[in-house]
Structure 1
Amino acid sequence: MSAIINVQPWLKFTATTVGRDKLYRAVQYFSRFLAWYLMRQGYSKETVVRFNNLKKSLALSRKLMRIGKPIEHVESAVLASNIKDEFLRFCSVGKQLSYAGYLTYDALIFLDGAGAYRFQNIKRYNELASKFWLSGILFSFVIGLYRTRQIQIRRETAMRGLRHQGENEKSTARTELQGLAREQHGVNKQLLQDGLDALIPSSSLNYVDLDDGVVGLIGTVTSIMGAQTQWAKVNKAKV
């Protein structure tokens, strides 16, 4: 019975599309790193090709798994349009629409890669997909910076509460500060993840010069970070 209970968090995690995608993504980018590393170390061409093929197969599988996701992001954009904060509303809508655009082109790239339909301008679709992806990440990063500033303002207010004579006010302020610290930890983690992830489409667009080894490691790290967040979400755990 205990073995069944222990496996439940894993089953909950892998039952979600996001959970499986993070696992596939981690293996995909680590395979990209390994192919680069083994080639640099002088391993046989066959060995390098194996990891390159694994990387390509997983990338194609993830594209298939995400077909239909643009609709979810459009729906999220509609919901985000109700946010009262004007700046946060603009960035949130922009983020969701950017990801919708990215995944729309991603689906077309899948059709081409799977051989279902050959697009003459597939290189342009890849470029647009990377631009939409980068745009979504940057919107997310700006949201993180904005929330950091909001947390700082709320922290200053809570700190003033500690200067009150009443013990109730001090206790409330301490509780508020603890909650803000946890919230800022989550924001900081997302900022780090976005900052690293932004380098991947930037590299594809030749905005930065990174080799496959660096891109592979970045993708592996951010995949693990994303998996941790999804694990905590489905299992109601703290990260």
Structure 2
Amino acid sequence: MVADSITYHPTLTKLVKFWDSTPQREKSFRLLAYLSRFLSYYCYRKGYSKELIDMFANLKNQFSFIRKGMRFFKPVTHLQAASRAYDNKLLDPVLQFTTIVRNLSYAAYLGFDGLIFGKMLGLVNKSRVPDAATWASRFWLLGLAAGIINSLRIIYSLSSYERSSTSSADEKNQADINDVNNKLYIAKRKLVWDLLDSFIALNTLNFLHFTEGDIGLAGVLTSLMGLEDQWKAQSI
């Protein structure tokens, strides 16, 4: 039957399983939040009705609110990652340090984000830590800076290895080169990702003054990159 072929289609099965996980749903809401932010500015620039502009602005706020609830306990994940990096004595010192700083910064960022979520729910007095959003953005930017240094270190190390391995053309060495090239691509992609998110954080902290449309577009791109990684990692 046609209905069965649609219902049991591998792509649909993978999609259902994909959205059955909180990290995937959170990333999807991130995409919708930044897309709404971009569309709100786009409608404003094109002179569309105030109702339409406000609709996208409200959607952005609602999607952002939902995301805060989904990642309320996420700081623990980053604290565990920082602890594992600290215990890994075989890791390159630069990679170890930046991994620890990145995860501790993300834990602090998400901790302040959880505080904001508590305020929005009325569980925390709104007068407490009035600059929680600013501190959250600062720690996010610090984590991103550590991630950028981490990616640059990986790129430098892998590029040096690639240059030293090109002189040999045996099959085993070629397999190693292919593996290095793949890791190099991942590191460069992560670098671009962190640079785009840093662009958002710098605007949030008023170090840069680009438009809401620019920020929204950058957020859409990094959200798509995150969803792409999660989609590839999802097994049927």
Contact between 1:109 and 1:122, CA under 8 Å: does it hold in 2?
A: no
1:11 partnered with 2:21: no
1:179 partnered with 2:179: yes
**Which secondary structure does the structure 1 equivalent of 2:178 belong to?**
helix
1:64 & 1:156 partners in 2: Cα distance? 47
Size of the aligned set, in residue pairs, is 229
Q: Deviations over 1:46-92 (max 9, x none)?
A: 11111111000000100010011111110111001123221111110
Contact between 1:71 and 1:100, CA under 8 Å: does it hold in 2?
A: yes
Q: 1:11 to 1:136 in 2, by over 3 A?
A: same
Contact between 1:36 and 1:212, CA under 8 Å: does it hold in 2?
A: yes
Question: Which of 160, 163, 169 is residue 156 of structure 1 equivalent to?
Answer: 163
1:93 partnered with 2:109: no
Q: Which residue of 1 aligns with 2:76?
A: 71
**Which secondary structure does the structure 1 equivalent of 2:38 belong to?**
helix
2:235 & 2:224 partners in 1: Cα distance? 16
Question: Which of 18, 23, 32 is residue 28 of structure 2 equivalent to?
Answer: 23
Task: Give ranges in structure 1 of 5+ residues lacking alignment.
Answer: 163-169
1:191 & 1:235 partners in 2: Cα distance? 26
Q: Deviations over 1:178-231 (max 9, x none)?
A: 111111111111111111111111101011111101001110111001100111
- Could you tell me how far 1:235 is from its partner in structure 2? 3.2
**Which secondary structure does the structure 1 equivalent of 2:131 belong to?**
helix
Q: Which residue of 2 aligns with 1:135?
A: 142
Contact between 1:67 and 1:107, CA under 8 Å: does it hold in 2?
A: yes
Amino acid at match of 2:233: K
1:206 partnered with 2:211: no
2:167 & 2:232 partners in 1: Cα distance? 33
Task: Give ranges in structure 2 of 5+ residues lacking alignment.
Answer: none
- Could you tell me how far 1:12 is from its partner in structure 2? 2.8
Task: Kindly report structure 1 stretches of 4+ aligned residues shifted beyond 3 Å.
Answer: none
Contact between 2:159 and 2:184, CA under 8 Å: does it hold in 1?
A: no
- Could you tell me how far 1:104 is from its partner in structure 2? 0.2
Moved more, 150-159 or 52-61: 150-159
**Which secondary structure does the structure 1 equivalent of 2:166 belong to?**
helix
1:189 & 1:235 partners in 2: Cα distance? 22
Q: How does 1:92-131 map to 2 (within 5 A)?
A: 92-131=99-138
Amino acid at match of 1:66: R
Contact between 1:99 and 1:136, CA under 8 Å: does it hold in 2?
A: yes
Q: Which residue of 2 aligns with 1:37?
A: 42
1:53 partnered with 2:55: no
Provide the TM-score with structure 1 as the length reference.
0.91
Provide the TM-score with structure 2 as the length reference.
0.92
Amino acid at match of 1:71: V
**Which secondary structure does the structure 2 equivalent of 1:119 belong to?**
coil
Q: Which residue of 2 aligns with 1:166?
A: none
Between the aligned residues of both structures, percent identity stands at 31
- Could you tell me how far 1:160 is from its partner in structure 2? 2.7
- Could you tell me how far 1:114 is from its partner in structure 2? 2.9
Amino acid at match of 1:148: I
1:144 & 1:77 partners in 2: Cα distance? 17
Q: Which residue of 1 aligns with 2:222?
A: 222
1:201 & 1:144 partners in 2: Cα distance? 18
